[in-house]
Amino acid sequence: MKQQLVTTMFLLLVPISVIAEVRCSGLIAPGQPHQTRWYCIDSEVSGPTVVITGGIHGDEPAGHRAADQIRDWSVRSGRMYVIPRCNIQAISIGSRRFPGIKGDEGDLNRHFARSGGETGPTSELADDLWEFIASCAPDVLLDLHEGYGFRSAGSKSVGSSIITHRDVDHEHQSRMLEHVNTQDKAPEHPFVPLRSAVNGSLVRAVAEVLRIEAHILETTTSGQPLSRRTRQHRVMVAARLDRLGMIQFGDAVDLLVADHERRRVVGIYDGPGAGGTSQGNRIESQLPGIRVERIGPSDINAGALSCFDAVIFPGGSGSAQAAAITGEGRRRIRSFVRDGGGYIGICAGSYLALHNYDWGLKLLPLDSMDRKHWRRGNALLELSLTDEGRTMLGRDGVDVMDIQFRQGPLMSPSEHPDAEELPEPIILATYNTGVGRNGADPGIMIDTPAIVAGDHGLGRVFLFSPHPEKTAGLEDLLARAINWCVPVPSAAD
């Protein structure tokens, strides 16, 4: 099997000494339609070898996204191999199976060696993955998956479980379960232990053929944001690596992106109070060239904002977002922006940034006016651009534009005394038309700010009362907002 290989040496400064860490990456099956990238983090200190796989099923995004985050971790002993996107073809279409192939023939996790001499489907991808994994000579394999329902609630799905192929109880399975159930405060549906991985699966083949420890880590897609599920995967993997002496549990779980990431990094909030999965996917699709990760309340409260250049708080409910983040989380967001981070608010995310709510972040000296009639309705409204707006939004020569409105805030200068210390924001666009349902006066919207930007400490804030990401022809505005909040470094920098 041909492999492309790239090796990089990183020197990690620690209080006691300098550790040399070798990071390398390459391709499995280069040039083939199913080619996929692997990563290796080698501590160059004697220790175990662990392989982590994700994306065997393309409709289980938490697995491959968590693996992408985990590949940024450092190990203090041993070696870690990560294959984040095992089944790149299925991931590209969001399907469990290979494109156009039904049943077990299309299910990669039925294509590996079977017990008792049974024969079953196979594929070139399974053969290539197996050859690479066997060449790593691992001591442990962790395969990241998702179920559709909660096993502890009686679902036939294996969601929220750890499947360990073994004959007796496994202490390492118990430790991972303890950590994920403890980290997830009072889980309604706790993770449970399962045994005997399905015949033809990677974990069963690894356990029986290579005779090593192997686990399937299953989160649950039903009713849970992506940020929560990726965090659960990180917790379970970190618990096992910590026990192996490869990492410090607390140092790893909240590291979503390493310092050596060269792209700008943006977090999209997807916890309580945010819209559904499609909203996050839509926003991410409009940010080419930027690394985007989902973040939730647990990530924010654990200090994970330090991994990001900017955060986006999308539509939904500003008060619900604030409640989920808690007062401590809101303090951390304010500190993040004040110390140089970027904040982009859309609709509910703009409400969250304002002054005249007890739960507001108070990032710009603006209030929400006519709060009684916030449910004023949805409509396609006309905006008038200011001179600054035409420049910052990339609309030279454009005076007006239409945009989708979904009950965003009507912004006005704040009357709170503490707002006086903040610099005056830049008005980029105002409403030319309004909408008035449920007793609201549409005329009150006319000439009020629709899009604003401003400084907060060393950071920058960009607020959209309406929804550019839902408006055809305005899909570039979010990227422009990020470019203003986090300018692209010049070659001189």
pLDDT at res. 201: 96
**Chosen domain end from 253, 275, 292:** 253
Edge-to-edge strand order for the sheet containing 213-220?
3-13, 18-28, 36-42, 79-83, 49-54, 140-147, 213-220, 161-164, 192-195
Give domain status of residue 291, yes or no: yes
Report the CATH number at residue 231: 3.40.630.10
Structure tokens at 342: 């970027």
Give domain status of residue 403, yes or no: yes
Domain boundaries, position 392: 265-485
Q: Kindly state whether residues 351 and 477 are assigned to the same domain.
A: yes
Structure tokens at 119: 């024969």
Q: Kindly state whether residues 344 and 453 are assigned to the same domain.
A: yes
Per-residue pLDDT of the chain (493 residues; tens, 9 = 90+): 334 444 333 333 333 333 568 999 999 999 999 999 999 999 999 999 999 999 999 999 999 999 999 999 999 999 999 999 999 999 999 999 999 999 999 999 999 999 888 888 999 999 999 999 999 999 999 999 999 999 999 999 999 999 998 755 588 999 999 999 998 665 789 999 998 899 999 999 999 999 999 999 999 999 999 999 999 999 999 999 999 999 988 888 988 888 777 789 999 999 999 988 889 999 999 999 999 999 999 999 999 999 999 999 999 999 999 999 999 999 999 999 999 999 999 999 999 999 999 999 999 999 999 999 999 999 999 999 999 999 999 999 999 999 999 999 999 999 888 888 899 999 999 999 999 999 999 999 999 999 999 999 999 999 999 999 999 999 999 999 999 999 876 544 4
Q: Kindly state whether residues 68 and 194 are assigned to the same domain.
A: yes
Label each residue of the chain as H, E or C: CCEEEEEEEEEEECCCCEEEEEEEEEEECCCCCCCEEEEEEECCCCCCEEEEEECCCCCCHHHHHHHHHHCCCCCCCCEEEEECCCCHHHHHHCCCCCCCCCHHHHCHHHCCCCHHHCCCCCCHHHHHHHHHHHHHCCCEEEEEEEECCEHHHCCCCCECEEEECCCCCCHHHHHHHHHHHHHCCCCCCCCEEEECCCCCCHHHHHHHHHCCEEEEEEEECCCCCHHHHHHHHHHHHHHHHHHCCCCCHHHHHCCCCCCCCCCCEEEEECCCCECCHHHHHHHHHCCCCCEEEEECHHHHHCCHHHHCCEEEECCECHHHHHHHHHHHHHHHHHHHHHCCCEEEEECHHHHHHCCCCCCCCCCCCEEEECHHHCCCCEEEEEEEECHHHHHHCCCCCCCEEEEEEECCCEEEECCCHHHHHCCCCEEEEEECCCCCCCCCCHHHHCCCEEEEEEEECCEEEEEECCEHHHCCCCCCHHHHHHHHHCCCCCCCC
Give domain status of residue 260, yes or no: no
Report the CATH number at residue 314: 3.40.50.880
Q: 234-265 burial, b if ≥16 CB within 10 A, otherwise e?
A: bbbbbbbbbbbebbeeeebbbbbbbeeeeebb
- Spell out the residues 6+ positions from residue 82 whose beta carbon is closer than 8 angstroms to its own: 38, 39, 40, 41, 51, 52, 53, 54, 67, 70, 71
Give domain status of residue 259, yes or no: no
Q: Kindly state whether residues 20 and 155 are assigned to the same domain.
A: yes
Q: Kindly state whether residues 154 and 276 are assigned to the same domain.
A: no
Give domain status of residue 492, yes or no: no
The domain total for the chain is 2
Q: How far apart are the first and last CA of the chain?
A: 41
Give domain status of residue 396, yes or no: yes
Q: Kindly state whether residues 143 and 282 are assigned to the same domain.
A: no
Q: Tell me the Ramachandran region of residue 100: left when phi exceeds 0, alpha when psi lies from -120 to 50, beta otherwise.
A: left
**Chosen domain end from 218, 233, 253:** 253
pLDDT at res. 420: 85
* Pick from 114, 111, 134: nearest CA to 122: 111
Q: Kindly state whether residues 243 and 203 are assigned to the same domain.
A: yes
Q: Kindly state whether residues 300 and 249 are assigned to the same domain.
A: no
Give domain status of residue 300, yes or no: yes
Q: Kindly state whether residues 112 and 142 are assigned to the same domain.
A: yes
Q: Kindly state whether residues 42 and 157 are assigned to the same domain.
A: yes
pLDDT at res. 3: 41
pLDDT at res. 2: 34
Q: Kindly state whether residues 95 and 241 are assigned to the same domain.
A: yes
φ and ψ of 140, to 5 deg:
-145, 140
**Chosen domain end from 230, 253, 276:** 253
Give domain status of residue 258, yes or no: no
Q: Kindly state whether residues 388 and 245 are assigned to the same domain.
A: no
